[in-house]
Every structure is written in C-alpha cells, then in structure tokens.
Amino acid sequence: MRTSEETLAALRDKQHYDITDLLQIMQVLRSENGCPWDKEQSHQSIRQDLLEECYEACEAIDMDSVPMMREELGDVLLQVVFHCQIEREQGHFTFEDICDELCSKLVVRHPHVFGEVKADTSDEVLKNWDSIKKETKHQETASDTLNAVCKALPALMYAQKLGKRASRAGMDWQNAEEAFRYIRLETDELEQAMQKKDAEAIEEEFGDLLFSCVNTARHLHIDAETALTRASQKFLTRFTETERLVRADGKEMTDLPLETLDIYWEQAKKATQSAEKKAD
C-alpha cells in the first residue's frame, strides 16, 4: 500500500476523527512506508499490550475517572484495531466482520428485546443467555461448559468461574460454612506436605488451598480477584507508612531486625486504619 501525501495530510490535519479514520491510520502505520515498529508486530508480540490496556481500563473504572476511562478505553480499541489489521492483511477477516458477528450475536442472545421471548428480570435474562450460549457453542454437557472457560484468565478468576459453572451442574457445597471447612482441611494437608518436604505435594496442596479459598469467596458472594487486589493495596499502603515511620526516625528498613519492623508495622497499621475510618 502506497499512501499519498494528500491522504497523510488529510489525516494529520483533521479536526475530528472517527472509527473510519482509526482504521485508516492503522492501515497506514502497517503499510510499506509506515512505522517500522508497527510493521514488525504480530498477534504474539502485542498480546501483552492488549492485556495491560484492559487492566488499565479497569483501573480507570475503579478510580471512577472519566478522562482516564476515555483514554484507556481508546487504548483498548487501538489494540482491537491493531489485531484486526494484521488479520486483514492475511485476508482472514476485517473490523467490519467482527462488528457484523458481534451484532448478530447480541441480537440472537437478546430474544426478549428483539424477539418474542419474555424476560422481566436480570435472572431470567442470564438464564436465557446461558441457554442460548450453550446451543450456539454446541455445549452439550456440563464438562463442555467448564472446558469453555477461558484458560488465559487470571488464576483466581479462572477458578471462580469453574466453581460457578460446576455449581450449575449440582457439584458444589451447600453453603459458605461447608466450603470454609475445606480451607481447614487443605491447610492441614499443606502442612503435612511441608513437614515431608515434598516439593511437588507442597505445590499441589497449596493450589488446592487457594481453590478452596476461591470457592468459599464465591459462596460469600465475594469476587476473589477483587478481594486479593484490595488486600494487596492495603499491604502497599501499610508498607509505605511503615517505611515513612522508620525513615522519620532516621533509620532504614533493611538495617532493622524483623522484631523492630513489626513494631513499626503495628504503628502503621493503626495510622492507616484511622485514616480509612475517616475516609468512610
């Protein structure tokens, strides 16, 4: 593809762009006289970029930042267009093909809007959605639905989805108390493996423990991924405050024994808890 100077000038000088311009810009960047870096990329080389942009969009949502959300959603769209352009060059599909397939799927999966099916509640909508999804994806067994869960998901999210779909087939604990009991059992089995110093068994039992924690979270109506993220953020806040307190006393964390750091940690914990209560 050779891009004329007029085309480049028109794209450069536009006052307002739309999706058509975005598709053309990506085509230009991947063209013979385009950007050296963009031309070298493949699905595999920019896979991580797609993942990171999605996470950054989620962070914008969590921060309830409209300007950040607008920017980060645009970055996600860029990744979609990038992957589409790679496939367009191979003659496999285009952005228009994706839009066509997506629109068709939305119409088919919303028969209560576009058809005659009745669904007055969100639960009824989700039930219809799952039924239609099984039919269109030819999922005939419960195992088919579990195998269809995306394996590239973060491990906690993947485990929670597996547990949810297994529950629909009747394979589940009755309540959170029963699920929680398995945390204790798996903790005991992990401890036994540690005592035997069996590395393979330790990894297996640790995984079982995490899986039990995820299932307990599901029964408590908690998203495990979100809960761990918040716990990690809390740790970061308290760690930062601990370091601030240590440095305020003219010391460095690496020079102090753990027992002393624990004292500072408790001080930081009280300080951050107080700040959290004031924020509430």
Average pLDDT over residues 79-86: 97
pLDDT over 70 (residue 2): no
Q: Quickly state the pLDDT bin for 228 (edges 50, 70, 90).
A: very high
pLDDT over 80 (residue 15): yes
Q: Structure pTM?
A: 0.70
Residue 197: the pLDDT is 96
pLDDT over 90 (residue 280): no
Q: Which amino acid makes up residue 274? A: S
> DSSP string spanning 78-118?
HHHHHHHHHHHHHTS--HHHHHHHHHHHHHHT-HHHHSS--
Q: Angle, to 10 degrees, between the axis of helix 95-108 and the axis of helix 122-136?
A: 120
Residue 5: the pLDDT is 83
Residue 138: the pLDDT is 79
Residue 119: the pLDDT is 85
What kind of fold does domain 5-105 have according to CATH?
A: Helix Hairpins (1.10.287)
> Domain locations in the chain?
5-105, 226-279
186-206: pLDDT as tens digits: 999 999 999 999 999 999 999
Residue 245: the pLDDT is 96
| CA dihedral sign, ordered 271, 276, 279, 280 | negative
Q: Tokens for 177? A: 């108390």
Kindly give, in sequence order, each residue whose CB lies less than 8 Å from that of residue 142, ignoring residues fewer than 6 positions away.
Answer: 165, 166, 168, 169, 171
Residue 28: the pLDDT is 94
Residue 277: the pLDDT is 59
139-150: pLDDT as tens digits: 888 898 889 888
Dihedral angle computed from the Cα positions of residues 7, 8, 10 and 13, in that order, rounded to the nearest 10 degrees: 180
253-266: pLDDT as tens digits: 999 999 999 999 99
Quote the CA–CA distance of 143 and 81 in Å, as a whole number: 34
Provide the H-helix boundaries in the chain: 5-13, 19-29, 36-40, 47-63, 66-90, 95-108, 111-114, 122-136, 142-147, 155-168, 176-196, 199-219, 224-248, 258-279
Quote the CA–CA distance of 18 and 74 in Å, as a whole number: 12
Average pLDDT, the chain: 92
Residue 276: the pLDDT is 62
